[in-house]
Amino acid sequence: MHPAPSVIVFTTLSGLGFGLLIWLGLGLPAVTGWVAFAFFAIAYALAVGGLLASTFHLGHPERAWKAFSQWRSSWLSREGVCAVAALLVMAAYGAGLVFFDTRLALLGWVGALLSLGTVFTTSMIYTQMKTVPRWNTPLTPALLIAISLAGGALLAGELSAALILIPIAGVLQILWWVRGDGAFAASGTDMATATGLGSIGTVRAFEPPHTGTNYLLREMVHQVGRKHAMKLRAIAFGLGYVLPVALLLVPFSHMLALVAVLAHIAGIAASRWLFFAEAEHVVGLYYGKR
């Protein structure tokens, strides 16, 4: 799949933003006043900034509001509903902390659950796609939720939790890569099953469907070299998981904590690029890409 920058920014930043909102909804860290305002400002900048970035991948961004109407059947629509609900509830909860030094615990828990629901519904947009075997696994929501919680803990300054959650996310990341590398072959999908013609004989492509590029080739038949992908995996894992944990284990300093956060964001962005670039859509079979 084509790794569009807008979608990478969206999935990286919004996951971190809603992850931070989850921790804030749970009352961690226990802040009020201007300190609480600073935490909420960071969370909203990441969450809302990521959501806005996603609209740049739409052919008609002005029609984005229509996505909310299909919540009964569409995970994309459910994501939008959850995101708006989470942001509104957490805004009310944050207002109590900032302006009245009051924590409305029930409201915070509801906001935390809605924020978690937003991350889950985002992950299900990809998980439910049987046409992309690499994504079609319970490991996808598990990984995205783990990354969101780990990144949120890091941003919230919950270092003890971060030291547990970042390694868990790292293990899930490795499992997701290992399982994903054989997912397409394990799915049993080939030209015969894709066309439904296997029952009448051997199926092969006579000519390419198109002589030039088109939308499907641009968006769904992106290819990344195995050697290049392995280098990026090492960078993503080192920056996103290993370096932050190493920095958190040394005596605390705000500068090192900032480096840990920036490294984590860079590593997750790299892994998210691979999330799309390595995803093999079955439509590629029609273009002889396997």
Structure tokens at 42: 């960071």
Q: Which amino acid, 64?
A: A
Give pLDDT tens digits for 199-242: 898 888 777 676 677 767 777 777 776 778 999 999 999 999 99
Q: Which CATH number fits domain 5-287: 3.40.50.970, 1.20.1630.10, 1.10.3720.10, 3.30.1780.10?
A: 1.20.1630.10
Which of the two residues, 211 and 178, has the higher pLDDT score? Answer: 178
CA torsion angle 256 142 92 36 (round to 10): -10
* Identity of the highest mean pLDDT range in 8-12, 162-166, 213-217: 162-166
Where residue 290 falls among pLDDT bands split at 50, 70, 90? low
pTM of the model: 0.93
Q: How confident is the model at residue 19 (pLDDT cuts 50, 70, 90)?
A: very high
Query: So what's the pLDDT on residue 182?
Result: 95
Mean pLDDT over residues 99-105, rounded? Answer: 96
Whole-number pLDDT of residue 193: 82
Summary mean pLDDT of the chain? 91
**Quick one: pLDDT at residue 147?**
98
The mean per-residue pLDDT over the stretch 15-22 comes to 98
The per-residue pLDDT for 215 is: 67
Mean pLDDT of 34-60: 89
Contacts of 146 (CB under 8 A, 6+ apart): 165, 168, 169, 172
- Report the distance separating Cα 18 and Cα 20, nearest Å: 5
Does residue 186 surpass a pLDDT of 70? Answer: yes
CA 8 centroid distance within chain: 8
Count Cβ atoms below 10 Å from residue 48 Cβ, excluding itself.
15
Q: Higher confidence at residue 210 or residue 36?
A: 36
- Give the model's pLDDT for residue 195: 78
Least confident of 21-30, 166-175, 192-201: 192-201
Average pLDDT over residues 103-118: 98
Model pLDDT, residue 78: 95
How does residue 275 score in pLDDT terms, banded at 50, 70 and 90? very high
Q: Is 88's pLDDT higher than 90?
A: yes
Statement: residue 57 has pLDDT above 70: no
pLDDT digit string (tens) for 116-163? 999 999 999 999 999 999 999 999 999 999 999 999 999 999 999 999
pLDDT value of position 289: 67
CB atoms within 10 A of CB 158: 18
pLDDT for the residue numbered 79: 95
In 101-157, alpha helices (H): 105-127, 139-156
Residue carrying structure tokens 């080739």: 217
User: Is pLDDT of 285 > 90?
Assistant: no
